[in-house]
Structure formats: C-alpha cells, structure tokens
Amino acid sequence: MSIFGHNGLSISRLNDRLSVTLQGDIVQETLMILSTDLLERVQTDRVNLVIFDLSSVDILDVTEFNALHRIALMIKLMGAESIFIGLNPGMVIFLVSAGADVSGINTAYGHEDIERALRLLNND
C-alpha cells in the first residue's frame, strides 16, 4: 500500500484497487495531475477498480465533474472499472439541474456499499 498526494488529493492502493480521495475545493489543475498519475498507475499496478471518494468535497462544479467523468471513461478504456462514492444529495441535485452528462458512471453510497455496486456491474 502506498499513498502519495497533491493538494486536496490522495491516491492509495489496496490490492487491485485504487482509492482516490478528493478533498475541499477541486480545481482543474488538480484533475489534470490526477488524470496523468492515475492512468499511469492503472497500467503499472494492474488495477481493476478505481474508487473516487467525493465525500469530503465541498464544491463540485459541472466543468470539474465533466473532467472526472472523462477520467472515468479513460480508466474504462484501459480495461479497469471506476466507481464514485460519497456524492451528497445537494451535489447531485445541482449536477442534474445543470445538465451534466452522468451516463456511464457507477456509484455507491460508501465504501461498505461497493461490493453491491460491483455485483450489479458484473451482472450487466
């Protein structure tokens, strides 16, 4: 297990899973660094699942959400799955009303709910 972080961002690995914890105010620059680091590690560490933990994010704008969405698609292209946890109701209402594209995104309530979400995913 290793942890290394940037401002408001930490990536930790557990077996074939990567957990990405985002904190505070997410800015575009953070996401740029995230996409580079994350994709490298998906390849080198043979990661199967990337978990984006957004539970401690204060504000998530549509632009930033779209960037995260694109990262999730890139991860999918590289043969791994991704799952978002900790999206709070306020955030979701804002994103949906702002017309963000949420297709192709897997979500779970929290870490304890991931297994259920994965089972759903594999049954598709």
Given the rule CB under 8 A, which residues bind other proteins? 35-36, 39-40, 42-43, 46, 70, 73-80
Q: Show the beta-strand stretches assigned E in the chain.
A: 3-6, 9-14, 17-25, 49-59, 81-85, 107-108
- Report the nearest approach of other proteins to the CB of residue 79 (Å): 3
Q: How many CB atoms lie within 10 A of CB 36?
A: 11
Vertex 9: Cα angle to 112 and 61 (nearest 5)? 90
- Report the nearest approach of other proteins to the CB of residue 36 (Å): 7
Helix (H, G, I), strand (E, B) or coil at 40: helix
- Report the nearest approach of other proteins to the CB of residue 68 (Å): 12
Task: Output 58 or 101, the one with its CB closest to other proteins.
Answer: 101
Task: Output 50 or 86, the one with its CB closest to other proteins.
Answer: 50
